Amino acid sequence: MRDFRLAALKRFERRPMAAWFAVNMPDLDFDDIYYYIKPTGEQVQDWNDLPDAIKNTYEKLASPRPSASTSPG
C-alpha cells in the first residue's frame, strides 16, 4: 500500500495545476495540509461531551449531528 501511495504522490506532483484551480486557490500549500491526524482522546457517547472545536466543525460543514449509531469523536 505504501508503494502505491508513493507512486500516486509522484504522479500528482508531476501534473501541472489546473488553470481554474490556480486562479481560485493560488496560495494553497499542499505541504501545509493535515490529511490525517491520529485521535488523541477517548470516544464520547453524548453530543454534549464533545469538545466545542469538534461541534463547531460540524456546524461549519453544515453536517447533521451524528446519530447514536455513529461515533461523534
Q: Are 43 and 15 in contact (CB under 8 A)?
A: no
The pLDDT assigned to 27 comes to: 86
Upper half-sphere CA count for residue 58 (Cβ side, 13 Å): 13
In a domain, 50, yes or no: yes
Local confidence band at 70 (pLDDT 50, 70, 90 cut-offs):
low
Residue (of 62, 38, 64, 61) closest to 72 by Cα position = 64
In a domain, 55, yes or no: yes
What would the pLDDT profile of 46-65 be if each residue is shown by its tens digit?
A: 888 888 988 888 888 877 76
Domain count, the chain: 1
* Percent of the chain clearing pLDDT 90 (strictly above): 12
In a domain, 12, yes or no: yes
| Structural domain of 44 | 2-60
The pLDDT assigned to 25 comes to: 86
Residue 26, pLDDT above cutoff 70 = yes
In a domain, 39, yes or no: yes
In a domain, 21, yes or no: yes
